[in-house]
Amino acid sequence: MKTKRLLLTGALALWPALLSAQLLDPALLAKPATDAWPTYNGDYSGRRFSTLTQINQKNVKHLSLSWILRVQVGATPGSIIGGEEPKPAEGALTDPGISTIKATPLMLNGVLYFSTPDNVWAVDARSGIVIWHYYWKTKGGIHIGNRGVGIYGNWLFFETPDNYLVSLDARTGKERWHKVIADVKQEYFSTPAPIIVGNHVLVGIGGDSLDVPGFLRAYDPENGEIQWQWWSEPLKKSDAGGETWPDEYSMRHGGGMTWVPGTYDPDLHLYYLGTGNPNPVLTGKSRLGDNLYTCTIVALNVDTGKLVWHFQPSPHDTHDWDAAQTPVLIDGEIEGKPRKLLAQANRNGYFFLLDRTNGKSIVTAPMIETMNWSKGLSAAGQPIPDPAKEATIEGALVSPNTSGATNWPPPSFDPETGLFYVGTAATFSMFYLTDTDPHPEGWGAAERDAGFMGAYLNAIDYKTGKIVWKHKYLFGGGAVGMLTTAGKLLFTGDSGRNLIAFDPTNGDILWHAGLADGLSNGPITYLLDGQQYVIAGAGDSLYAFSLQD
């Protein structure tokens, strides 16, 4: 085992190929990842499935640690410094979110690129040695996490907690430009990984405390100019969806953040995205109606940002169940006919299967047995909220809790097993109404945990929504990111700080390794110099595993 914790100033002298080559061939984005991991989910589909087979069921027991990198955040010796502040924000480095690797690393030409809030690294994918480190001097913002970088040609793009889009030269770490995404004083904060489609850098936004509207924006990678913007709520009553809000004031303060990267179908030219919950949170009396396009899966024309279709898993959400979970694209069969499909394991406790050409429902099925907030399904396949499960002064018992039956960590779909894999939790909470004003602001209710019934890894038949098998985690927990491979392996983690390889057909555990912290995003895999690696981020460390001679 080689343990590396080095920052090499001038390390680029060791990388002539990196300096001269164009890093990203766009064709990689439309096929399963093998010798690269060029975008957040490996490819545009969101499946997180690799066709690599070097590590497989027969030899996974020999998988061993190749290297560990423990990141050093902030203005460390040799760091490249960016940002507009004269010095780093006081106390910023004490926030644990800054050092937790919630990013999915990207790998191209033997180099890993990943981020934490305000920090980006380029790392030798063979050894874990740092090539360069960039640090952004922040103006503030909530440092809850950062999901990674995007790559266009030789340029990197990432978002900062104080709402800047920053572009770096991937070969040197030198800043090219930065642009304001939103006003940090309005308590927006940016966590998503940018997704690159054609010449569009697609940028989402987050925000929790103030009642502000969400949006998705496309930037020009050359100069950072805005190409288009799509708002997750109507701007006026006459706009499409305006009838689902009582007035323009509620729309313009309505939430709907675009927290998590979406997926893309190159043939349909559609970008698929799940949006966040409406504001005020946990109470809906000032925003009667379905509140489109919050808690909604949307399909947008990638060149214009125009809405093509929508499906809303949680109409008039009052439990903080955003629909920001990854929309996974599946080319499958329904009733013997080939179909272009979209699957989502939703925070509200339902699994949804849609026709991705038009957004029509095919399957809606529960993922947890405890779910009690819905009275049934509409003809369109949408859950029908039970008004009795909204927050009251006396309290309402609801399952799942606000963390949801699942959450943002990415699922995986294995086309060889036909199964969709996702981490779930069966929970209850009491919801107490705390703001009785006719126009509450921010959080209008309080939640108190009322029961934890178990955490599971669910394997779901995408055609029916039925759970084929599930593994109960002994130490509790909830959603953890997934990776499947053609080596007949499913990699994920548990709350006992283990990286685990499961048999994807039946849930048998084939291998595990203890980590210093819990898995903080989904693993990735790639082939480099003829050797397959599995990379996992856990806390402030990146772990690399491979088969050892």
The structural domain count of the chain equals: 1
The Cα 363–Cα 373 span in angstroms is 19
CB-based burial label for 72 (10 Å; 0-12, 13-18, 19+): middle
Sign of CA dihedral 259, 178, 19, 72: negative
User: What is the number of H-type helices and E-type strands within the chain?
Assistant: 2, 40
CB atoms near residue 126 (< 10 Å) = 18
Q: What is the pLDDT of residue 440?
A: 85
Judged by DSSP in three states, 40 sits in coil
For residue 115, the one-letter residue type is S
H-helix or E-strand spanning residue 247: none
- Beta strands per DSSP E along 5-116: 49-50, 63-70, 80-82, 106-108, 111-116
Q: Do residues 290 and 312 touch, judged by C-beta distance below 8 A?
A: yes
Alpha helices in 47-120 (DSSP H): none
Cα dihedral angle (391, 395, 399, 401), rounded to 10 degrees? 70
Judged by DSSP in three states, 19 sits in helix
Domain that holds residue 512: 2-547
Residue range 79-137, pLDDT digits in tens = 999 998 877 655 445 566 789 999 999 999 999 999 999 999 999 999 999 999 999 99
Percent of the chain with pLDDT over 90: 83
Q: What predicted TM-score, i.e. pTM, was given to this entire model? A: 0.94
Residue range 177-221, pLDDT digits in tens = 999 999 999 989 999 999 999 999 999 999 876 789 999 999 999
Residue range 167-187, pLDDT digits in tens = 999 999 999 999 999 999 998
CB-based burial label for 74 (10 Å; 0-12, 13-18, 19+): middle
The Cα 461–Cα 209 span in angstroms is 38
Q: Do residues 190 and 205 touch, judged by C-beta distance below 8 A?
A: yes
Residue range 230-262, pLDDT digits in tens = 999 999 999 999 999 999 999 999 999 999 999
Domain containing residue 32: CATH number: 2.140.10.10
Q: Which residues are part of the catalytic machinery?
A: 320
